Amino acid sequence: MTTSTADTTQELAVFLRTRRERLDPDDFGLPTRRQSRRTPGLRREEVAELAGVSIDYIVRLEQARGLRPSANVVEALAKALRLAPDERSYLFDLAQQRPRTTEKAATTAPEPLARLVSGLSPLPAMLMNHRYDILAWNPEMASLLMDFGTLPPSRRNQMWLCLMHPEVRGFYADRELVVREAIAHLRAAWAAHPEDQVLAGFITEFTTQDELFARLWAERDIVLNGRGRKVLRRPDVGTLTVDFEVLMPLQDQDQRLVIYRAADEASQVALDRLCVR
């Protein structure tokens, strides 16, 4: 995958089609039509009617014929397709109708954020950019996952570690859920940063080298999760459960602060054992 305009146009076409096909016509109270339905979901003419645009316009969008819908049309399509908030944002990004930053992805942590990550000890914490590059971490996070400082900078990427690193990929009890949630964020980042060739390179690498990533990427789930729970399996201390929170600094909105905390007393004991070694 590259990040050319043609790619985002093609993704817009596929995204609109898959969202149309998942809808149940009975939920819309549309007039009964004589011809039987040979494909699932709404017909193109029904989406056109709901969105207030022509059938030809919907056809051209779904055929990736270079249209760039206006913000009003994108909003109408989002309502017609009953998109969830994260899906709506994704559609606006694909249509290039949200303001974009011209700044490149950060490769180092701003000093105030680096100090914050350090100061969050004893809670495990790390700072990442939109493509999951790990920019800063504290000793507790290094003890919980791995010492990121032993990796070359090009491999200090949380998605790469989860997919490719032989030790880290075995840490997660429900690895598919972890990868699925990460892909949702990565897909949203790709739509918001179509010029990021490094991110495009990561996606190509993951798609071609990891079957799980390729399968989940093709499903096009866009449900962003900023908090939750992960069960980790460490051979040295056993299984522990952590709650996580993802925060976005107001002045560095390309970056994400990730904070873990033990979900129960037994997990806290295991985390303490990891961190005192």
Q: What string of DSSP letters covers the chain? A: ----HHHHHHHHHHHHHHHHHTS-GGGTTPPP-SSPPSSSS--HHHHHHHHTS-HHHHHHHHTT-S----HHHHHHHHHHTT--HHHHHHHHHHTT-S----SPPPSS--HHHHHHHHHTTTS-EEEE-TT-BEEEE-HHHHHHT--GGGS-GGG-BHHHHHHH-TTGGGSBTTHHHHHHHHHHHHHHHHHH-TT-HHHHHHHHHHHHH-HHHHHHHHHT-----SEEEEEEEETTTEEEEEEEEEE--TT-TT-EEEEEEESSHHHHHHHHHHHT-
Distance CA 106, CA 156 (A): 13
pLDDT in tens, 73-91: 898 999 999 988 888 888 8
Nearest of 98, 101, 57 to residue 77 by alpha carbon: 57
**pLDDT > 70 in the chain, percent:** 92
Mean pLDDT along residues 268-275? 90
pTM: 0.76
Mean pLDDT along residues 50-67? 88
Mean pLDDT along residues 243-270? 92
Indicate the average pLDDT of the chain: 87
Residue appearing with tokens 């399996």: 233
The pLDDT-based confidence of 251 (bands split at 50, 70, 90) is confident
**Region of poorest pLDDT, from 51-60, 135-144, 255-264:** 51-60
Mean pLDDT along residues 161-185? 90
More confident residue, 8 or 133: 133
Mean pLDDT along residues 215-228? 85
The pLDDT-based confidence of 144 (bands split at 50, 70, 90) is very high
Task: Enumerate residues 6+ apart whose C-beta is below 8 A from 244.
Answer: 227, 228, 229, 230, 258, 259, 260
The pLDDT-based confidence of 1 (bands split at 50, 70, 90) is very low
**How much is the pLDDT for 6?**
45
pLDDT in tens, 29-53: 766 555 566 677 888 888 998 988 9
More confident residue, 205 or 6: 205
